Amino acid sequence: MTRASFSDNLKVSVPTSWDELNEEQLYYVLRLIAHGVPIERTMLYAFLQFSALKVIRRYAPSTLLVRYKNAPYVITRKDLLLGATSQDYLETPPKSPVRLYKWRQTVAVNPALHGVRFGVYLQAENYFQGYLTERNNKYLMQLGYLLYPGMEAKGCDDWSEEEEKIFCTNVLLWYTGFKHLLVEQFPELFRSTDTTGETLDMREIMFAQIRILTSGDVTKEHRVLNVDTWSALGELNEKIKESKRLDRMIKK
CA-wise closest residue to 28 among 48, 8, 9, 13: 48
CA-wise closest residue to 89 among 33, 132, 133, 35: 33
> In angstroms, rounded to a whole number, what is the distance separating the alpha carbons of residues 33 and 166?
8
Type of residue at 87 = Q
Say which DSSP state 209 is in.
H
Per-residue burial over 1-14, b if 16 or more Cβ lie within 10 Å, else e, is eeebebeeebebeb
CA-wise closest residue to 148 among 170, 165, 163, 180: 170
Query: Is the distance from CB of 228 to CB of 114 less than 8 angstroms?
Result: yes
Domain spans of the chain, in order of start: 2-91, 102-247
Identify the pLDDT of residue 200: 56
> Residue 38 pLDDT more than 50?
yes
Query: Is the distance from CB of 106 to CB of 151 less than 8 angstroms?
Result: yes
> In angstroms, rounded to a whole number, what is the distance separating the alpha carbons of residues 231 and 70?
53
> In angstroms, rounded to a whole number, what is the distance separating the alpha carbons of residues 107 and 3?
33
pLDDT tens profile 163-198: 999 999 999 999 999 999 999 999 988 874 544 445
pLDDT tens profile 99-130: 999 999 999 999 999 999 999 999 999 999 99
Say which DSSP state 56 is in.
E
CA-wise closest residue to 10 among 51, 42, 43: 51
Identify the pLDDT of residue 7: 56
> In angstroms, rounded to a whole number, what is the distance separating the alpha carbons of residues 165 and 86?
26
Say which DSSP state 99 is in.
-
Identify the pLDDT of residue 8: 54
DSSP assignment of 111-161 equals TT-TT-BHHHHHHHHHHHHHHHHH--HHHHHHHHHHHSTTHHHH--TT--H
pLDDT tens profile 212-225: 888 888 788 889 89
> In angstroms, rounded to a whole number, what is the distance separating the alpha carbons of residues 214 and 96?
30
Identify the pLDDT of residue 196: 42
Whole-model pTM: value is 0.87
> In angstroms, rounded to a whole number, what is the distance separating the alpha carbons of residues 39 and 98?
19
